[in-house]
């Protein structure tokens, strides 16, 4: 199974901050890396698919980058509605696997 390791596990930030979350795969996954946001009590929602592509309706302050085994999610200017938990996911091979999550909290 491909292991996905996110860092940090949690972070504290303020509105307007630039936030970067990284995700490392235990082997190459091409570009089949996706990012989800989950708010308490709700299902996850897709932010970025295939490493770079912004899902329809997602604000442009979210962006994704990376290749091979190392990927990142950037929030350029954190907004109040962005305080949530973020997960990366690889769908390159079965079983599809998720990172352990990064909780973004208000400083």
Partner 1 sequence: QVQLVQSGAEVKKPGSSVKVSCNDSGGTFNYYTFNWVRQAPGQGLEWMGRITPILDTANYAQKFRGRLTITADKSTATVHMEMRSLKSEDTAVYFCARDIGVSTTYYVYWGQGTLVTVSS
How far apart, in whole angstroms, are the C-alpha atoms of residue 62 and residue 69? Answer: 20
Single out the residue of 37, 25, 7 nearest to residue 97, CA to CA: 25
Instruction: Choose which of 2, 13, 17, 44 interacts with partner 1 (CB under 8 A).
Output: 44
Q: How many residues bind partner 1 (CB under 8 A)?
A: 23
CB of 4 to partner 1, least distance (A): 10
Is position 43 an interface residue for partner 1 (rule: CB under 8 A)? yes
Determine phi and psi for 73, rounding to 5 degrees: -115, 130
Site string for partner 1, 60-89 (x = CB under 8 A): ---------------------------x-x
CA 11, distance to chain mean position in Å, is 13
- Distance CA(8)–CA(99), nearest Å, equals 11
User: Closest CB to partner 1 among 17 and 55?
Assistant: 55
Q: What CA–CA distance (Å, rounded) separates 19 from 78? A: 7
Please report whether residue 51 would count as binding partner 1 according to CB under 8 A: no
Q: Binding residues for partner 1, per CB under 8 A?
A: 1, 32, 34, 36, 38, 43-46, 49-50, 55, 87, 89, 91, 94-101
């Amino acid at each position: 199974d491909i292991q996905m390791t996110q860092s940090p596990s949690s972070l504290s930030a303020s509105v307007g901050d630039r936030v970067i979350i990284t995700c490392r795969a235990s082997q190459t996954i091409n570009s089949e890396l996706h990012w989800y946001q989950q708010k308490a009590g709700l299902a996850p929602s897709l932010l970025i698919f295939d490493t770079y592509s912004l899902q329809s309706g997602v604000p442009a302050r979210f962006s994704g980058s990376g290749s091979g085994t190392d990927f990142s999610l950037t929030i350029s200017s954190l907004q109040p509605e962005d305080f949530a938990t973020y997960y990366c996911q690889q769908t390159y091979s079965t079983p599809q696997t998720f990172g352990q999550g990064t909780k973004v909290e208000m400083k």
